[in-house]
Structure 1
Amino acid sequence: MSETTKVLVVDDEERIRRLIRMYLEREDYIVEEAQDGTEALEKAINDDFHVILLDIMMPEMNGIDVCREIRKEKETPIIMLTAKGEESNRVQGFEVGADDYIVKPFSPREVVLRVKAILRRVSAAQFEQVAVPPKDIIAYPHLTIDHDAHRVTADGSEVSLTPKEYELLCFLAKSPDKVYHREELLKEVWHYEFFGDLRTVDTHVKRLREKLNQVSEDAAKMIVTVWGVGYKFEVDDA
Structure 2
Amino acid sequence: MLKPVFPARAMALALAMTLSACGSAEPAQAPESDATPGGVVTESAAIAGPSRTILAFGDSLFAGYRLQPSESYPAQLQAALRAEGINATVQNAGVSGDTTAAGRQRFAFTLDNMATKPDLLILELGGNDLLRGLPVEETRANLDFMMAEATKRGIPVLLMGMRAPPNYGGDFQRQFDAIYRDLAREYDADLVPFFQEPIIARPELNQADRIHPTAQGVAALVEATLDDVQDALPPS
TM-score category (smaller protein): 0.3 to 0.5
More strand as a share of residues:
1
Structure scoring higher RCO (CA < 8 A, sep ≥ 6) equals: 2
Output the TM-score relative to the length of structure 2: 0.43
